[in-house]
Amino acid sequence: MKRGNKNFLGIPKFVLNILFFSVVFISIFFWTLDINEKKESKLQTCSRYTIGTITDISKRAYKSADWVYVFTYSNQRVERAGRPNPINLHQWIFGSNNPWENNWKGHRIWVQVYCNDPKFHRVLWDKEVPDSIRNIPESGWEVIPI
């Protein structure tokens, strides 16, 4: 009998590997869902709106990019990377608003921020920020002022 093809239970190693990676993948999936639910719960409890700015666009893979953005809330500067939802991403990449054809650096975006910790936030990619809004309150707005 060849050694190395089966473990002590008689189950082939490739089956154990598939099971192991499936469990890891499912665990990461549910962990991510849990984090998103906590974030949504916090934002529903108490949130404010502020304006962020796209500072960089880094191309990751074929027709994929991360938008690096920064915003300030209660004297805390937060810099993160994110992507628009797939509908907007498709429009921006394949439509006339291709980020590599147009300069998106400096483009302003709405950010919904958790009142007590700006690390918990959500970018509202689909809402335009009017050019008329220039003064951003330190603690943001209770509602989007448009």
* Global confidence as pTM: 0.67
Tell me: pLDDT of 48 over 50: yes
pLDDT for res 1:
46
Tell me: pLDDT of 137 over 60: yes
Find, among 128, 136, 109, the residue nearest to 54 by Cα: 109
| Per-residue pLDDT reduced to its tens digit, 18-44 | 888 899 988 888 877 666 677 777 788
Contact 54, 92 (CB under 8 A): no
Share the mean pLDDT of the chain.
79
pLDDT for res 120:
86
Tell me: pLDDT of 71 over 70: yes
- Identify any residues that bridge with 121 across adjacent strands, giving them in sequence order: 113
Which residues, at least 6 apart from 25, have a Cβ–Cβ distance to it below 8 Å?
none
Contact 27, 50 (CB under 8 A): no
